[in-house]
Structure 1
Amino acid sequence: MERLNCKAMGEFDYIIVGGGSAGCVLANRLSTNPGNRVLLLEAGGKDDYIWIRVPVGYLYCIGNPRTDWCMSTQAEAGLNGRTLKYPRGRVLGGCSSINGMIYMRGQAADYDGWRQAGNCGWGWDEVLPYFKQAEDHFEGPSAYHGSGGELRVEKQRLRWEILEAFQQACSEYGIAAVDDFNRGDNEGTGFFQVTQRKGWRWSAADAFLRPVRSRANLKIETGALVDKVIVEDGRAVGIAYCVGGEQRTAGARGEVVLAAGAIGSPAILERSGIGDAAHLSSLGVAPLVDRPEVGGNLQDHLQLRCAWKVSGVATLNQRAANLFGKALIGLEYALRRTGPMAMAPSQLGAFTKSDTRYATANLEYHVQPLSLEAFGGALDPFPAFTASVCNLRPESRGTSRIASADPAEAPGIRPNYLSAEEDRRVAAQAIRVTRGIVAQPALARYNPEEVRPGAAYQSEEDLLRAAGDIGTTIFHPVGTAAMGSVVDAELRVIGLDRLRVIDASVMPTITSGNTNAPTMMIAEKGAAMILAAARG
């Protein structure tokens, strides 16, 4: 092993870098056999913050350096020069500890597309068993859902008249009501299912890690900032990392698995000399494998947060407008684990097509009984709802690449939102579709008045400018170590032995919906691949 002036922590069969959604699944599965010695390294801290548990606590976790890496994008031309905050989980459970808790698999066509692109074994029929295997669905076992698994999936514990009216307006517009978005075709409108248990958040750490933390063969280190993979003779043999200022190494008898996410994993690859050779050389990193695709192919869902002022109906803007209202909300949650404190950030969903050229739904709505100028800001001082809409399959591609060899320095994140002509066309049409839904009779009695982007935006040029002004990330970065270019269909890094990437970064194309459930599925399937390889 490479000789470094640091403390050696011994050898393990498997080293997992990243204790997020994928890493928790991997740690559970790879340590099931007591003969496997497993090390899990998490750069963030423990998930013992109360606001991780309470569903509404995402408001206090996102943007909080205790639980979020608080990254930002570079200035985005497609967003009229704005930069965006780019939340990434900084605790055990990763983004599943701070995200919106929505359980969404995407569409069967997403995975069949992966398979058609040459990634054998990743079609819908092949990945569905891995979704089901981990699931404990509130309706019990069925052809599409599992029961008794670690990941609890429940209905939301709330009711809002304005959301029910929006769902009815969708039906009047031609978007039929559905009771489950997770059967392979998510077109329709309904309430999101969530990763909660009895009104509490149920993160990947809750589901997969906490029940097995006492296993003698599983070692978990938090505050472990990974520098690089140690490579000898074309094979990953360990990890170099730092804890509390102390430099350490750990050896791997079997495999090293990067599960640090779509931003973290490519950064570790680059610091290990795996990436664009010219870029790495410019930063003083010795190139080991010239792989320019590392950190490229970044895809994300850009949401356009359209909002309408209403009258004659309750929204959270009024209910949380004063101390008395907030006290009632807190009391309801304390007594029943229901109401606004049990809410996911988005409650009602809708999937539809921006126009008839699409074979499957290409728009997703996250509808909320509230409105605000920007995420984390104050609620507007009037009753309102938000219909946030995103293009599910953007053609724009960005990058996330290290700007320094220092692992403590954040990479340069450039999503390149709205850089593709088709994405701009869909953005403008998405606002028009949203206006068409709100114009239906079901919402008329509430006198909706558009406040964002505003009715004055009508022309194509106006709508594109509006999209740039109100567009923001919905926190779904994927694709930066994609199957077919950086890893193969077994998630092995091309050009090296005993090194895999198993997280959202391996998605060749983004799924048609929220990305947390697909990430955990990837980890389930990836763990099975690792164990199968060990059996020979």
Structure 2
Amino acid sequence: MSKADSVANNTPEQFDYIIVGAGSAGCVLANRLSADPARSVLLLEAGPDVETFWVRAPAGLPFLFQNSNLNWKSSSEPVANLCGREIYWPRGKIVGGSSAINGMQHVRGNALDYDDWAAAGNDGWAYADVLPYFKRMENNLDGGDGWRGVGGPLQVSRGSYRHPVTRQFVDAVAALRVPLNPDFNGRQQEGVGYSQFTIARGVRSSAARAYLAPARARPNMVVRDRCLAHHLLLVGGEVVGVLYERDGALFRAFAARETLISCGAVGSPQLLMLSGIGPADELRARGLSIQADLPGVGKNLQDHLAVNVGYEVKAGMSMNAALSGWRKYMRGVQYLVTRGGPLAMGTSHALAFVRTRADLDRPDVQISFRPWSFTFESSKLRVHPYPGIQIASLQLRPRSRGSVALNGTSARDAPAIRPNYLSDPEDVQCALRALQFARDISCTAPLRDSIVREHLLDAEDRTEERTIEFLRRTAQSLYHPVGTCKMGCDADAVVDSRLRVRGIRRLRVVDASVMPTLVGGNTNGPTIMIAEKAADLIREDEMLA
């Protein structure tokens, strides 16, 4: 039987809402929209609906990093400014999306980032507007206040394990006149302090665990995994449903109210373009029928580029030994019995947000600290055999812009990811300032007293030219792609401030792709916030219809 025959023989289904993509945003939408028992919701996900031990356990990250069953394992095209390297872009292919495989850092970004969104014409997206949604989504185990929430689905904690070398890092940064900050998501972002994670009692709080699990028993919500969306179904400029594939057969599902795309900064523009919504010239070149000429689809790609420097340290001042050899089994038993210890923590244990120029109104650089060190080898992350730590530095608001484009006309054709890193000269200069600040930390007591040697460049080679070469050879994505279906009111905007796709009715995009600019922090928390707000926008528009 051909696929054309199979779709003809499968009875179409109808729901009020269809959500394509069960990642951080899709899980939120499914929960909030299905809370109305009069509304039916279909949630489609290309990956499996599972929560394995390594997904639940925070220390499972190395086992998820190259797991093709749960990870799209994307890579960019060769990046000219990074010595022609292809940059690895892991993306969650699992119910829970990237929130099920990420490093679990919980950072909202700077309040001024959201004010910038509003100033660009996105009414309702200033920090004062989105703060209630950040609070609504959180259950902060430290308690609530004017900035932090309690009682929400997403569990947020600092973790119970604190290595002595992490304290040395914090003290060294403070010695450089950076203020101690107990909460990067509170009154101000600038400062140094301990990380907050989407972890509670030693278990990852993915979007699937936080939002879907409490709603699973609702009869009006259907979660369907291993479903690859081929394209949207359109009639007269209106989306009426989705054509998707499962187990080799094609199915049509119809949405009586709206279809919501939540496939992320790579998947969402791909699905729009496969459906004829995007840059007309590019789509015609692929032989696709044009439903809406939106030149901004796939453009405006932004990502955080990190430079990681490793240090060999004195014995006892690293977690490497505890994560290697027979000791890792002891730590594993400790985790299984107590849900505590180093295996219950996320990746970076401390952060610093700093301004590298006095004229800036907010931090432009993030420094992340790991009390352990590793190297990426072929299919896994390998802990170094010596005691080591790592300090990663990155520019928070890169000026460089890239794109996502089609590589074919099938949903199975991996799209072309062109991040265009370091194409703006200021990005190179900011990366240099960030790296220098990281090195200043390593040369400051008390951290310097634990360091044996730096794995960077020999002292005589630390010219600006050689350091830039080092950046281009070693920098890696921090896996925060955004912006490819940007929200706005200019010619390149894909969605309006209510996340409705321009020129197409009954269709919204709800995920990190709608961010007009990259926030100065991690992107999982802001993506969940966007979906929380989107659910309210959808209900409001339904009442006005």
Asked if these proteins are the same fold (TM beyond 0.5), I'd say yes
Task: Say whether 1:217 aligns with 2:220.
Answer: yes
My pick for the range that moved more, 471-480 or 45-54, is: 45-54
Quick one: which of 325, 328, 339 aligns to 1:326?
328
- Alpha-carbon distance in structure 1 between the residues aligned to 2:445 and 2:519: 33
- Alpha-carbon distance in structure 1 between the residues aligned to 2:269 and 2:9: 24
TM-score scaled by length of structure 1? 0.97
- What corresponds to 2:504 in structure 1? 496
Letter in 2 for 1:506: V
- Alpha-carbon distance in structure 2 between the residues aligned to 1:57 and 1:168: 29
- What corresponds to 1:533 in structure 2? 541
Superimposed CA distance per residue, residues 233-262 of structure 1 (whole angstroms, 9 cap, x where no aligned partner) = 111111111111111111111001001111
**Contact preservation (8 Å) 2:353, 2:363:** yes
- Identity of paired residues, percent? 39
- Alpha-carbon distance in structure 2 between the residues aligned to 1:266 and 1:453: 40
- Alpha-carbon distance in structure 1 between the residues aligned to 2:520 and 2:457: 25
Task: Say whether 1:442 aligns with 2:442.
Answer: no
Quick one: which of 240, 252, 255 aligns to 1:252?
255
Quick one: which of 361, 370, 373 aligns to 2:372?
370
Q: CA deviation at 1:344?
A: 0.5
Task: Say whether 1:292 aligns with 2:295.
Answer: yes
Letter in 1 for 2:376: A
- What corresponds to 2:363 in structure 1? 361
Q: CA deviation at 1:353?
A: 1.5
Task: Say whether 1:509 aligns with 2:517.
Answer: yes
- What corresponds to 1:313 in structure 2? 316
**Contact preservation (8 Å) 2:311, 2:451:** no
Quick one: which of 429, 432, 436 aligns to 2:433?
429
- Alpha-carbon distance in structure 1 between the residues aligned to 2:9 and 2:88: 35
Distance 1:284 1:457, change over 3 A: farther
Distance 1:191 1:6, change over 3 A: farther
Q: CA deviation at 1:14?
A: 0.6
Superimposed CA distance per residue, residues 434-460 of structure 1 (whole angstroms, 9 cap, x where no aligned partner) = 111111121232244211355454222
**Contact preservation (8 Å) 1:431, 1:463:** no
Q: CA deviation at 1:316?
A: 1.9
**Contact preservation (8 Å) 2:22, 2:262:** yes
- Calculate the aligned-residue CA RMSD, in Å: 1.5
- What corresponds to 1:91 in structure 2? 94
Letter in 2 for 1:295: G
Distance 1:471 1:454, change over 3 A: farther
TM-score scaled by length of structure 2? 0.96
| Aligned pairs for 1:431-470 within 5 A | 431-453=435-457, 455-470=459-474
- Alpha-carbon distance in structure 2 between the residues aligned to 1:509 and 1:130: 19
- What corresponds to 1:399 in structure 2? 403
Task: Say whether 1:348 aligns with 2:340.
Answer: no
- Alpha-carbon distance in structure 2 between the residues aligned to 1:107 and 1:373: 31
| Aligned pairs for 1:39-438 within 5 A | 39-183=42-186, 185-323=188-326, 325-374=327-376, 376-438=380-442
Q: CA deviation at 1:372?
A: 2.3
**Contact preservation (8 Å) 1:267, 1:295:** yes
- Alpha-carbon distance in structure 2 between the residues aligned to 1:457 and 1:430: 18
- Alpha-carbon distance in structure 1 between the residues aligned to 2:415 and 2:402: 13
Letter in 1 for 2:38: G
- Alpha-carbon distance in structure 2 between the residues aligned to 1:410 and 1:454: 40
Letter in 2 for 1:235: E
Distance 1:507 1:160, change over 3 A: same
Letter in 2 for 1:316: M
Quick one: which of 495, 520, 534 aligns to 2:528?
520
User: Helix, strand or coil: the match of 2:174?
Assistant: helix
Superimposed CA distance per residue, residues 292-322 of structure 1 (whole angstroms, 9 cap, x where no aligned partner) = 2100101000110011112143312222332
- Alpha-carbon distance in structure 1 between the residues aligned to 2:90 and 2:537: 30
User: Helix, strand or coil: the match of 1:441?
Assistant: coil
- Alpha-carbon distance in structure 2 between the residues aligned to 1:69 and 1:309: 33
User: Helix, strand or coil: the match of 2:375?
Assistant: coil
- Alpha-carbon distance in structure 2 between the residues aligned to 1:132 and 1:457: 48
Letter in 2 for 1:44: G
User: Helix, strand or coil: the match of 1:497?
Assistant: coil
- Alpha-carbon distance in structure 2 between the residues aligned to 1:47 and 1:282: 39
User: Helix, strand or coil: the match of 1:13?
Assistant: strand
Q: CA deviation at 1:345?
A: 1.2
**Contact preservation (8 Å) 1:228, 1:272:** yes
- Alpha-carbon distance in structure 2 between the residues aligned to 1:232 and 1:447: 64
- Alpha-carbon distance in structure 2 between the residues aligned to 1:151 and 1:511: 20
- What corresponds to 1:472 in structure 2? 476
Q: CA deviation at 1:83?
A: 0.8
Distance 1:174 1:235, change over 3 A: same
- Alpha-carbon distance in structure 2 between the residues aligned to 1:374 and 1:103: 24
**Contact preservation (8 Å) 2:240, 2:256:** yes
**Contact preservation (8 Å) 2:55, 2:61:** yes
Letter in 2 for 1:464: I
Letter in 2 for 1:522: I
My pick for the range that moved more, 6-15 or 292-301, is: 6-15
**Number of residue pairs the alignment of both structures matches:** 534
For structure 2, list consecutive stretches of 5 or more residues without a partner in the other structure: none
**Contact preservation (8 Å) 1:47, 1:93:** no
**Contact preservation (8 Å) 2:277, 2:290:** yes
For structure 1, list consecutive stretches of 5 or more residues without a partner in the other structure: none
User: Helix, strand or coil: the match of 1:155?
Assistant: coil
- Alpha-carbon distance in structure 2 between the residues aligned to 1:467 and 1:124: 33
Q: CA deviation at 1:340?
A: 2.1
